[in-house]
Amino acid sequence: MTRLQDLYAQQQQSPWLDNLRRGWITSGELEQWVARGVRGITSNPSIFQKAIEGNAEYDDQLRGLVADGVSVTDTYWDLVTADIRDALRILRPVYDASRGEDGYVSVEVAPSLARDTAGTTEAARHIHTTIAQPNLYVKIPGTAEGIPAIRQMISESRSINVTLLFSVERYGEVIEAYLSGLEAAEGDLSGTSSVASFFISRVDTEVDRRLTTIATPEALALQGKAAIANAKLAYQLFGERFSGPRWEALAARGARVQRPLWASTSTKNPAFPDTLYVDELIGPDTVNTIPDATLEAFDEHGTVARTIDAGVDGARQDLRRLAEVGVDLDEVTHVLEEEGVAAFSKAFDELIGSLQTKTESFGA
């Protein structure tokens, strides 16, 4: 067995692939990833920007769309939908074999809607209706404006990947949206699924930048600790909220837990181990969506062992020490949410601009 297969078999953690491009679909490489143990796929506007820009794999479909007079924005969604449909087909056996636990492919609503509750709700409903596959996750940002849209989609029995989560407090709001959405839904709940995507490495990048500026020995000793500590406390909250009478009543109707999904798990700091954010976040009822380079590294030399709930007291202490040296984690997570929304919007806008240029060249 591969280490990716061991993650699930031994620790009940599902490794997903945080990347998608057409060449993997057409070459059979995506199917090979699934055979090695990948159990789901996530995408976002930045991923599609890298996949589509300057890549001839999309040109044939693009030429047909130009000939049909399709708008640039609709062209983007047609290109993306084609890849998502093919990925859904490849992952469907995983979905069926796991009885709906895994095998999902995620596609995000337009990033411009991150602060628009009504627009997000309409867009998520439209994507679910258009693609209409049981193993589709529509990604909704976990912004304050996204929370009501998440609850509404869950109440309509639509499966959702909540993305761009950085703070444990906001994660608690997301859990509440999921639970109350399930309570508002009718009938059997087993067909509704959700994950909550908690971003990891970006927390260390921002916190460590601030610690470097503070530059005291106490501050520098905390570098590389914030992200993992933050995730460990999020997992503790997960365990608390998906237990007890309220959850048991929903579970009796077939409800599934909303699994924490660790995102942004490639190591940005070359001083850290390349599998740090996989090795340290392993535990049951979780997902880790991992870029392909980090997947390769983990499959080669990662460590398969339960770590997510080890050292929780130490994690709390690390976060207290961060506050003591002058790092406000609430401010950090607010900044990261704003930057995340802006980065996805920028990637989307740049891709639309590139598509406009390419369509004009095809039409010449």
Residues annotated as part of the active site: 139
Which 8-state DSSP code applies to residue 257?
Answer: P
Instruction: Classify strands 194-199 and 160-165 as parallel, antiparallel or unpaired.
Output: parallel
Tokens encoding 295:
């997947």
Sign of the dihedral through C-alpha 261, 263, 266, 271:
negative
Lookup: tokens for 173: 């709001």
Residues 26-30: contacts with CB under 8 Å, at least 24 apart: 26/57, 30/87, 30/90
Using alpha carbons, list the distances in angstroms from residue 313 to 60, 219, 229, 234, 319.
56, 19, 9, 13, 10
Instruction: Give the DSSP letter string of 49-102.
Output: HHHHTT-GGGHHHHHHHHHTT--HHHHHHHHHHHHHHHHHHHHHHHHHHTTTSS
Question: What is d(CA 191, CA 158) in angstroms, rounded to the nearest whole number?
Answer: 8
Residue pair 301/124 in contact (Cβ under 8 Å)? The answer is no
Amino acid present at 84: I
Helix, strand, coil content of the chain in percent (nearest 5) = 60, 10, 30
